[in-house]
Chains A and B, each alone.
Chain A
Amino acid sequence: MDNTAKAVASPTLDPGQEPWVGLRRFTAARIALGRTGGSQRMTTVLDFRLSHARARDAVMAPFDIDGVRTRLEHAGFAIQRIATGVADKKTYLVRPDLGRQLDVSSRTQITSLASDWGQRDLVIIISDGLAAQAAERHAEETVTRLAGLLVGAGWTLYPILLAPFGRVKLQDEVGELLGARHSLILLGERPGLGMPDSLGAYLTHRPCAACTDANRNCVSNIRPEGLPPAEAARKIAHLLIESARLGLSGVALKDTQAANGLSDQAL
């Protein structure tokens, strides 16, 4: 029965077809890859490189802000462009602090617009974040559906703000300057290997400079293969409405939602 030596010398199995390949239906992990010697085969190496190349391209791609603007305007939204303290990709990657704040002229701009617009319930900010194509592909549908749900529930919205090179905390300064009850930022998430266009949404009740991540609620992985935009819009609307009802957001809101799991479907 001892065929070990023979098996090592001339494998009878094609190592590219591991017998546990069927386990792949339980996970998207890269299992049963096979091997050449103890190393990865050419085909799985190249497959990995392609995924990484796509993720890198997603991080570095410029934001087609005009395209997003045009689509949102066609959908009937008023749009305002604003700027953070960042003007280029490299600075964006190494200076998260600058992506969290408005540049000086945008601060002035928003302060003056605030009096024209008056107090409203929600400001929505869209940014490229770490994956511009996430905002380009999914922001318009998410916002359109979300606005439909919220306006139907009697909410008032500010014009939508497009903010290249934004970080999540940007919503605090913007929301505070406007005096918005809620702020919501939609931005491209850090791309994983298999998902270069995942959009994230973060909402905060009574946004202000002192807010931290503990004050926010997050809906992530918004993309057709993850949480589709229509479903994400329902989830965000539910969180916002609950947040308004309870007068808070963040950890405490999450607990409440877990306790009322059914109301998610009711919305």
Chain B
Amino acid sequence: MSFATTIGRTRHTFPSLGTLLAKATPLRSGDVLAGVAADSAEERIAAQLCLADVPLARFLEDLLIPYETDEVTRLIIDTHDRAAFAPVASLTVGQFRDWLLRYETDAPRLAALSPGLTPEMVAAVAKLMGNQDLVLVAKKCRVVTAFRSTIGLPGRLAVRLQPNHPTDDPNGIAASILDGLLYGCGDAVIGINPATDSVAAMETLLRLIDELVHRYDIPTQSCILAHVTTALQAMSRGEPVDLVFQSITGTEAGNKSFGFNLGILAEARAAALSLKRGTVGDNCMYFETGQGSCLSANAHHGLDQQTCETRAYAVARAFKPLLVNTVVGFIGPEYLYDGKQIIRAGLEDHFCGKILGLPMGVDVCYTNHAEADQDDMDTLLTLLGVAGCNFIMGVPGADDIMLGYQSTSFHDSHYLRQVLGLRPAPEFEAWLEKMRIVTNGRRLLPVDGKHALLANHSPAHDLPSTRS
């Protein structure tokens, strides 16, 4: 069944639900590249007018990718909770947007609703919501997870310490980890993107962090962002794996191109759980996503990139992750052209993940061939802080020398903590105070060369003598 609306004397028709969703999406280069974007500004609003009248229940019948051919669709449909869906079952997408903004729609109601929502319903309503709607509703959601620290509590902002090095040099990585810790960051995870995806490289880095975390009793967790199968091998060899990582997409074909399926994720989660390395919780998965990943793998089934992205969150929520990170500006200008598109996509992903019950963080980032700069990142960072984002990245000086892109710095987290009164994860905050790195939750203390982190760690042995 097709969709149609008449504006003045022009009749706009949309042959399928997938087409309607794509044409209703705010402009972005990836949808133009895929050939699914609206042909004109008016056609985009015509699609939004049509979409506002589509009943939410329609998304349970009119499947965008067939049940028979896609395991992500099967996961979405098989785990849908009709009882949880009941409060909004009679609403259209447009009415759902208004329902979300009501005073009465609070954190407990949103949490109860979450299992009743499918990614497609959430993607649809996000397309109709303005940036302020995306901020307001995300802010109402509360998603708390834990492993050795507790992430997502009210008034808290965690940071992933990202100490990458182009050749995985252990001293280089250790230097960046110390830098991050001394600037009060690392409560979400100390997470390294390895230059080489191998069990041997993973083991070296795992032991490096494990030794550090144990020596200083740091209430955080480690993650080497290697392929899930690499982590499985490392675990079978008894290596100290805290969090299992995988980049995920919203289609079976996309995930296949990334070399995994849902069964492998389940196997990896079971293996990580059996290690019982968490102390305050057992959320042991870390997922990364990003709009455009399905299209770049030619696995988008004619859907727009925001809808595909939201379907990835169905994959994530099946495995109770500690952290989900949308790496929003990493993919480049052919998917998100400029600061405006990156900012919008970051807010969409954060909202969609949160309302689906995920502990969303955002890698506020851009590449050098995108029309964006630090000011755009400051804007998105601020908006996400207001929206209650669970965590952001902390990269030395915002410059990732391994991946070749710009993210957020340790300093950026202090900006956000100051302007919004946010504190680190409680366990990590106590550690920072004990180590005399931070006082009052968010004010950095001066560190001298005799600080415990500098005095004992091997690279620091060669430091110039302490200045007085």
Contact = CB atoms under 8 A, between A and B. Distances in A.
Contact of A19 (B332, B399, B415, B463): B463
Interface in A27-49: 27-33, 35, 37-40, 44, 48-49
Given A7-B446, A8-B443, A94-B333, A29 B401 contact: yes
Contact of B179 (A15, A20, A195): A20
B176 A13 contact: no
Contacts of B451: 19
A22 B463 contact: yes
Given A26-B169, A93-B369, A193-B399, A20 B182 contact: yes
Contacts of B367: 190
A39 B179 contact: no
A24 B332 CA distance: 30
A187 to B, nearest CB: 13
A93 B336 CA distance: 11
Residue of A20, A30, A56 ringed by the most chain B CB atoms within 10 A: A20
B334 interface: yes
A20 B176 contact: no
A142 to B, nearest CB: 20
Nearest to B397: A30
A52 B372 CA distance: 10
Interface string A79-109: 0000000000000011111000000000000
Contacts of A52: 368, 373-374, 406
A44 B171 contact: no
A254 to B, nearest CB: 12
Interface string B20-37: 000000000100110000
Given A8-B443, A12-B446, A27 B401 contact: yes
Contacts of B79: none
A56 B374 CA distance: 13
Contacts of B404: 190-193, 195
Nearest to A96: B334
Contacts of A49: 374
A50 interface: no
A96 B332 CA distance: 11
B185 to A, nearest CB: 11
Contacts of A48: 374, 397-399
A73 interface: no
Contacts of B405: 192
B178 A23 contact: yes
A135 to B, nearest CB: 15
Residue of A13, A38, A56, A130 ringed by the most chain B CB atoms within 10 A: A38
A194 B415 contact: no
B273 interface: no
A265 interface: no
B172 A29 contact: yes
B172 to A, nearest CB: 4
B417 interface: yes
A22 B462 contact: yes
Contacts of B32: 94
B444 to A, nearest CB: 6
Contact of B439 (A8, A11, A22): A8
A27 B368 contact: no
A64 interface: no
B436 A27 contact: no
B160 interface: no
A116 B401 CA distance: 46
Contacts of B266: none
Nearest to A55: B368
A195 B448 CA distance: 33
Contacts of B418: 37-38
Interface in B308-334: 332-334
B69 to A, nearest CB: 22
Contacts of B163: 29
Interface in B425-468: 436, 439, 442-449, 451, 454, 459-460, 462-464, 466-467
A28 B165 CA distance: 8
Nearest to B446: A13
Contacts of A44: 397
A156 interface: no
A11 B182 CA distance: 16
Interface string B340-369: 000000000000000000000000000111
B439 A28 contact: no
B449 A193 contact: no
B415 A4 contact: no
Contacts of A144: none
Interface in B169-198: 169, 171-176, 178-179, 182-183
A55 to B, nearest CB: 4
A51 B374 CA distance: 12
A59 interface: yes
A22 B174 CA distance: 13
Nearest to A24: B175
Given A29-B176, A48-B397, A39 B411 contact: yes
Interface in B387-401: 395-399, 401
A11 B444 CA distance: 11
B376 to A, nearest CB: 12
A23 B449 contact: no
Interface string A1-16: 0001001100111010
Given A26-B172, A94-B333, A193-B406, A19 B448 contact: yes
Which 6 residue pairs of A and B lie closest in terms of their CB atoms, listed nearest first? A30-B397, A38-B414, A27-B172, A192-B404, A19-B449, A23-B175
Given A27-B172, A52-B374, A194-B401, 17 more contacts: A8-B445, A19-B454, A28-B401, A29-B163, A29-B164, A29-B399, A31-B175, A38-B444, A48-B398, A59-B368, A93-B333, A93-B334, A94-B333, A191-B369, A192-B401, A193-B404, A193-B406
12 contacts: A17-B467, A19-B447, A22-B462, A27-B176, A29-B395, A31-B176, A31-B178, A32-B179, A38-B415, A38-B418, A48-B397, A51-B399
